[in-house]
Structure 1
Amino acid sequence: MPTSEMIYRELGNTGEQVSAIGLGGWHLALKHVDEPLAIRLVRTAIDRGITFMDNCWDYLEGKAEIRMGKALRDGYRDKVFLMTKIDGRSKQEAAKQIDESLRRLQVDYVDLLQFHEILRFEDPHRIFDPEGALQAFLEAKQVGKVRYIGFTGHKDPEIHLHMLEVADQNGFKFDTAQMPLNVMDAHYRSFAKTVVPELVKRQIGILGMKSLANGILLRSNTVTAIECLHYALNLPTSVVITGMDSMETLDQAFEAVKTFQPMSDEQVQALLTKTAKAGSRGEFEPFKTSSIFDGTAQNPDWLGKEPQRLQQLMSAAQ
């Protein structure tokens, strides 16, 4: 649904066209966002040209998916590219979470399903295990519950590269990968410097998140919200996912698109120079330097059981 208010980009090599700005689902269930406002935000975003919807099985105990599901009634589902994420690492847990997400969203399928919070080096091995979550994803895709498969993470670019490596070893190619892409990222454990070039080479759709880090980046007093969004849009992203918890932040996203022009090397460097000191230690990217953002660390049961053969190995060793 192209509009003059939005830019549209290709999603990797899927052949899909998606809005350059995506609506972040987590914000739809924050305490200060009631259900009528959440529905209004989603529908207004779609009416104005945003087609990419982000969500996750674990966002605020499912409330974010439930609210988005209500907003996508009355014909709105057909206007969007719907993505959600699940945490399960075992086939059994992943299959359960997939079905729960579909019920909450009130849909028969999602366009994109992603493995959420790939934060640990063992995560790829658990997912690609014969008893792992990939099997649930592939079965869901086979029966039409899922169209494309990706993964997300916010901790360390080396873990993203490891996920790609383990996928290669198993003969699998992801359609998308999601990661923090912001003006601070360039200075500390940078996804933009290490992961993005690899994804471009592989033609995997690049989903940027934490472009404002829920406003944390603005507390550095070095950049504006529009500058943050322009920086992320200037990277080879298919989509920049940003949270919208008010009509003002929704308008801000459209203002960023309206005023965006490809940045020169000099303009990028000027922005990075302004943020270099603030970004040098990861202080304004706590998702990299703390476990505060790690839902699966605080709720390890979301991951499911370790593969049975590994449990047997442990039993034999004891």
Structure 2
Amino acid sequence: MEFRYLGNSGLKISAITYGNWLTHGSQVENDVATQCVRAALDVGISSFDTADTYANTKAESVLGEALKGERRESLEIFTKVFWPTGPGGKNDTGLSRKHILESINGSLRRLQTDYVDLYQAHRYDPETPLEETMQAFADIVRQGKALYIGVSEWTADQIREGVKLSKELGFQLISSQPQYSMLWRVIEGEVIPTCEELGVSQIVWSPMAQGVLSGKYLPGQRPPEGSRAADEKGGADMIKRFLRDDVLERVQGLAPLADEAGLTMAQLAVAWVLQHRNVAAAIVGASRPEQVAENVKAAGVRLEPELMVKIDEALGDVVERDPAKTSENAPQERVA
């Protein structure tokens, strides 16, 4: 396993981070989820990413149970706050002081830990003053309930203002968690340059573009049974943007390039995001333990510059690069 510093901090995390967005508490049984976590530990993964909203808090509980008994100091546990939890009441969402302070206590209880290494704003809250949000994060850090603060899917301007306030309040905002893959590069134009300037790292989600970059979805054919695209509960809406025949045809052109690198297509996708110096980690999930062992082989792989050029040529104009997509996909008001 390769370990990288997270932002301008002394914290190191595993370059492959295990995430349980669409699996724990919903898609797979708890015993299989535990087996996947154990498999992650066995291959050297020490960083685990979850969120209170995943499976409406169940994912945190499953992860906490799976990690019970492990040396806490050897783990880096990340969770998030923003989206609705519980019954979805008027204060069960957003980044108000009330919701943040109540949410961290619930997350710690479910994760069976006294602190999380990284507490992340799952989205930007347009209805709460940023000063209120950042003051609540500062208090959580001072209370020892979180060591560092991060954000997810914030624009470059939002990140800049968040970092400014964090410094004024005496804590570190060190990470951004955006979607990033060969097919979805919207952070390259603005978010990444801003983060490089400010000392903020990326922990990227969906490096395999919801599984499309594994090559298992073929143009003109129905999605395989049991795949994410066939599961209305498992992210089918998220994957639709990549299931156009023109995209799938281009993705199939990556197969010989993966062979050239001695990797599977999925490993090539993960290795590709890890080539960027501002990316500290790629989040991967698993519904079977053996998937973890396969994904981890992407850690430490160096792709030659010539191969990176060939990948760009193979994908051509199906790559999404518009920086405006970050704000377009963000909530314009709280989701209750």
TM-score interval, normalised by the smaller of the two chains:
0.7 to 0.9
Which residue of structure 1 lines up, in the alignment, with residue 289 of structure 2? 247
Using the TM superposition, give the Cα deviation of residue 290 of structure 1 relative to its aligned residue in structure 2, in angstroms: 8.5
1: CA distance between counterparts of 2:108 and 2:25? 21
Aligned residue for 1:23, secondary structure, equals strand
Superposition pairs of residues 1-318 of structure 1, within 5 angstroms: 6-29=1-24, 31-87=26-82, 88-118=94-124, 122=126, 126-129=128-131, 132-153=132-153, 159-167=154-162, 170=165, 172=167, 174-186=173-185, 190-217=186-213, 218=215, 219=217, 220-221=248-249, 222=251, 223=254, 224-236=265-277, 237-257=279-299, 260-261=301-302, 263-280=303-320, 300-301=335-336
Deviations 1:105-157 (A, max 9, x none): 01110000000023x7x36xx2523xx3222221111111010001001xxxx
Aligned residue for 1:210, secondary structure, equals coil
Identify the range of structure 1 (191-200 vs 84-93) with the bigger mean alpha-carbon deviation.
191-200
Does the CA-based 8 Å contact 2:184-2:321 persist in structure 1? no
Deviations 1:34-86 (A, max 9, x none): 10111111122112210111010100111110000001111253321110000
Using the TM superposition, give the Cα deviation of residue 162 of structure 1 relative to its aligned residue in structure 2, in angstroms: 1.7
Using the TM superposition, give the Cα deviation of residue 167 of structure 1 relative to its aligned residue in structure 2, in angstroms: 2.3
Residues 168 and 241 from structure 1, CA distance in 2 versus in 1: closer, same or farther, beyond 3 angstroms? closer
1: CA distance between counterparts of 2:320 and 2:196? 26
Aligned residue for 1:238, secondary structure, equals strand
Using the TM superposition, give the Cα deviation of residue 210 of structure 1 relative to its aligned residue in structure 2, in angstroms: 1.2
Residues 92 and 200 from structure 1, CA distance in 2 versus in 1: closer, same or farther, beyond 3 angstroms? same
2: CA distance between counterparts of 1:226 and 1:47? 18
Q: Which runs of 5+ in 2 are unaligned?
A: 83-93, 218-247, 255-264
Does the CA-based 8 Å contact 1:46-1:79 persist in structure 2? no
Residues 30 and 183 from structure 1, CA distance in 2 versus in 1: closer, same or farther, beyond 3 angstroms? farther
Does the CA-based 8 Å contact 1:233-1:240 persist in structure 2? yes
Residues 164 and 149 from structure 1, CA distance in 2 versus in 1: closer, same or farther, beyond 3 angstroms? same
Residues 289 and 140 from structure 1, CA distance in 2 versus in 1: closer, same or farther, beyond 3 angstroms? closer
Opposite residue 226 of structure 1, the aligned amino acid is: Q
1: CA distance between counterparts of 2:334 and 2:285? 23
- Runs (4 or more) in structure 1 with deviation over 4 Å come to 287-291, 296-299
Aligned residue for 2:22, secondary structure, equals helix
Query: What is the Cα-based RMSD across aligned positions, in Å?
Result: 2.6
Aligned residue for 1:300, secondary structure, equals coil
2: CA distance between counterparts of 1:11 and 1:104? 25
Residues 171 and 36 from structure 1, CA distance in 2 versus in 1: closer, same or farther, beyond 3 angstroms? closer
**Larger fraction in helix:** 1
Does the CA-based 8 Å contact 1:211-1:232 persist in structure 2? yes
2: CA distance between counterparts of 1:71 and 1:297? 36
Deviations 1:211-231 (A, max 9, x none): 013213444251421221111
Does the CA-based 8 Å contact 1:12-1:205 persist in structure 2? yes
Does the CA-based 8 Å contact 1:182-1:228 persist in structure 2? yes
What TM-score do the two structures reach when normalised by structure 2? Answer: 0.74
Aligned residue for 2:149, secondary structure, equals strand
Deviations 1:172-229 (A, max 9, x none): 352111111210123xxx2023212221222212211110132134442514212211
2: CA distance between counterparts of 1:145 and 1:171? 16
Q: Which runs of 5+ in 1 are unaligned?
A: 1-5, 154-158, 302-318
Aligned residue for 2:209, secondary structure, equals coil
Kindly, what percent of the aligned residue pairs are identical? 25
Opposite residue 9 of structure 1, the aligned amino acid is: R
